[in-house]
Amino acid sequence: MRLLVLLLLTLLAALQHRLWLGQHSVMEYWAHKTELAKMEQQNEVLAKRNKLLKADVTDLQIGLDAIEERARNELGLIRQDEVFFRIISPLDKK
For residue 87, tell me if it sits in a domain: no
CA distance 13 to 56: 60
For residue 94, tell me if it sits in a domain: no
Which tens digits make up the pLDDT trace of 36-91?
999 999 999 999 999 999 988 888 788 777 777 777 878 877 878 888 777 888 87
Q: List Cβ neighbours of 73 (8 Å cut-off, separation of 6 or more).
A: none
pTM beyond 0.75? no
For residue 13, tell me if it sits in a domain: yes
What is the span of the domain harbouring residue 67?
1-75
For residue 83, tell me if it sits in a domain: no
Sign of CA dihedral 43, 48, 53, 57: positive
For residue 69, tell me if it sits in a domain: yes
For residue 67, tell me if it sits in a domain: yes
Which tens digits make up the pLDDT trace of 19-28?
788 788 888 8
For residue 70, tell me if it sits in a domain: yes
Could you give the 3-state DSSP secondary structure of residue 70?
helix
* Number of folded domains that form the chain: 1
